[in-house]
């Protein structure tokens, strides 16, 4: 607290990102990054941008990247909005596409940035409990609201909601924007982008931080009806006209142009996820079915906190949330085969 702070800042409850420790040789399975690096073509494309043109501002609309993403998802460039990581896209969505005076709905267990944006922009919200099996029940989203948002697959549970159920939520809320945050969709889910043309109230948000191995580049995007995109552009151009720098625009475009690299890395993560799941079940863990690049698991006899602490003493970092309903769980990012072996052995020893 400082006398120089605005009253708004006094009341903020900021998001706490997963730790980025500086220690060497850590097995870092705590922030859902991709264990495999980006395509060499991404590195080449970024290197090609390291020249005199850096003195010039980047394209404020990111036209080339928008065209690439639009072609990939079979939509029009005017249906695509780019941001500095999907966190920034989400911030603009909360500001520009929800009705602030009516409670927006999101699951009680979900991405913990959502309540933070509500606090920042003074948006009313109501959490909707997941079922006992930690699933989203579409029926629960048939109530008056100022908008709806949920990740699919959900974080930190990893549970996926099939498209017919997503459609149920969309159809029940024709007067409100429904945002599907698909940060982890590439690890086994089916994107709701295919529903965009039928639902003008649908906005799908994705990121290059996970399946495209580019968390360090900060690129996210939203796809939806041009009217929704226009709202996001109005917010963006009232905040920062150049959210993506020249390196990010070039690297992200190259990532979409190397489909083979993307598929190979994604498939490895998926097969490792299945292997780690089976191994943890063998150690007495309950592992929720995951379609993400992480699993959410609890042990019948050991507390989540004690396990996280025990792993840390062995140089293995996972995420533990000290929150109602989920304090028994660990959220474990899927790593390389070697990292996953270390995790399994670490848990076995505990
Ligand atoms: C559900 C969900 N949405 C969005 C994000 C933000 O991703 P980024 O800002 O890296 O694009 C994350 C990051 O972990 C996430 O878990």
Per-residue pLDDT tens digits for 158-198: 999 999 999 999 999 999 999 999 999 999 999 999 999 99
How many angstroms separate the CA atoms of 349 and 341, rounded? 12
CB 305 within 8 A of CB 174: no
Q: 297-344 pLDDT, tens per residue?
A: 999 899 999 999 999 999 999 999 999 999 999 999 999 999 999 999
Residues within 6 Å of ligand 1 by CB? 32, 85-87, 111, 151, 155, 181, 183, 207, 209, 215, 220
Q: What is the arithmetic mean of pLDDT over 235-255?
A: 98
Non-local CB neighbours of 268 within 8 Å, separated by 6+ positions: 36
How remote is the CA of residue 349 from the centroid of ligand 1, in Å?
Answer: 32
How remote is the CA of residue 215 from the centroid of ligand 1, in Å?
Answer: 9
What does the DSSP 8-state code read for residue 161?
A: -
Q: How confident is the model at residue 19 (pLDDT cuts 50, 70, 90)?
A: confident
User: Is a pLDDT exceeding 90 seen at residue 22?
Assistant: no
How many angstroms separate the CA atoms of 96 and 236, rounded? 10
CB 70 within 8 A of CB 76: yes
For atom 2 of ligand 1, which residue has the closest CA?
Answer: 183
User: Is a pLDDT exceeding 90 seen at residue 349?
Assistant: yes
For atom 15 of ligand 1, which residue has the closest CA?
Answer: 183
Q: Which atom of ligand 1 is nearest to the CA of 86?
A: 11
How remote is the CA of residue 147 from the centroid of ligand 1, in Å?
Answer: 19
Q: Which atom of ligand 1 is nearest to the CA of 220?
A: 11
Query: Which tokens hold the place of 318?
Result: 């996972």
Element holding 341 (H helix, E strand): helix 337-349
How many angstroms separate the CA atoms of 117 and 93, rounded? 10
Pocket probe for ligand 1: among 19, 183, 184, 243, the residue whose CB has the most ligand atoms within 8 Å is 183
Top-confidence residue, 235 or 1: 235
How many angstroms separate the CA atoms of 293 and 298, rounded? 17
- DSSP lists the bridge partners of residue 128 as 107
- Report the pLDDT value the prediction gives residue 85, as an integer from 0 to 100: 98
How remote is the CA of residue 183 from the centroid of ligand 1, in Å?
Answer: 6
How remote is the CA of residue 24 from the centroid of ligand 1, in Å?
Answer: 25
- Mean pLDDT rounded to a whole number for the chain: 97
How remote is the CA of residue 207 from the centroid of ligand 1, in Å?
Answer: 7
Pocket probe for ligand 1: among 111, 117, 206, 219, the residue whose CB has the most ligand atoms within 8 Å is 111
How remote is the CA of residue 86 from the centroid of ligand 1, in Å?
Answer: 6
Instruction: List the alpha helices (DSSP H) in 98-152.
Output: 113-121
Closest Cα partner for 225 from 341, 85, 79? 79
CB 119 within 8 A of CB 216: no
Query: Which tokens hold the place of 134?
Result: 């930690």
């Amino acid at each position: 607290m400082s006398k120089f702070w605005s009253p708004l800042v006094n009341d903020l409850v900021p998001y706490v990102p997963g730790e980025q420790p500086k220690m060497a040789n850590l097995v870092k399975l705590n922030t859902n990054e991709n264990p495999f690096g980006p395509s060499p073509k991404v590195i080449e494309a970024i290197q090609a941008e390291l020249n005199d043109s850096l003195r010039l501002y980047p394209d404020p609309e990111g036209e080339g990247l928008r065209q690439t993403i639009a072609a990939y998802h079979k939509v029009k460039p005017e249906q695509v909005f780019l941001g500095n990581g999907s966190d920034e896209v989400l911030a603009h969505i909360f500001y520009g596409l929800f009705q602030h005076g009516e409670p927006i709905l999101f699951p009680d267990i979900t991405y913990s940035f959502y309540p933070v944006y509500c606090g920042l922009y003074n948006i009313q919200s109501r959490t909707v409990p997941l079922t006992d099996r930690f699933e989203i029940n579409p029926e629960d989203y048939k109530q008056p609201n100022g908008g709806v948002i949920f990740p699919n697959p959900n974080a930190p549970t990893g549970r996926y909601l099939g498209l017919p159920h997503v459609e149920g939520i969309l159809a029940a809320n024709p007067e409100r924007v429904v945002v599907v945050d698909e940060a982890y969709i590439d690890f086994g889910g089916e994107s709701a982008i295919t529903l965009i043309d039928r639902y003008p109230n649908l906005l799908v948000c994705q990121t290059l931080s996970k399946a495209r191995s580019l968390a360090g580049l900060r690129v996210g995007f939203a796809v939806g009806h041009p009217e929704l995109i226009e709202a996001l552009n109005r917010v963006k151009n009232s905040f920062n006209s150049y959210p993506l720098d020249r390196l990010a625009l070039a690297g992200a475009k190259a990532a979409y142009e190397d489909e083979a690299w993307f598929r190979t890395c994604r498939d490895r993560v998926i097969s490792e996820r299945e292997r780690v799941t089976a191994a943890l079940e063998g150690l007495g863990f309950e592992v929720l079915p995951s379609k993400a690049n992480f699993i959410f698991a609890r042990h019948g006899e050991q507390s989540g906190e004690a396990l996280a602490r025990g792993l840390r003493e062995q140089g293995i970092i996972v995420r533990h949330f000290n929150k109602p309903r989920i304090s028994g769980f660990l959220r474990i990012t899927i790593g390389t085969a070697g990292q996953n072996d270390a995790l399994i052995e670490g848990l076995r020893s505990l």
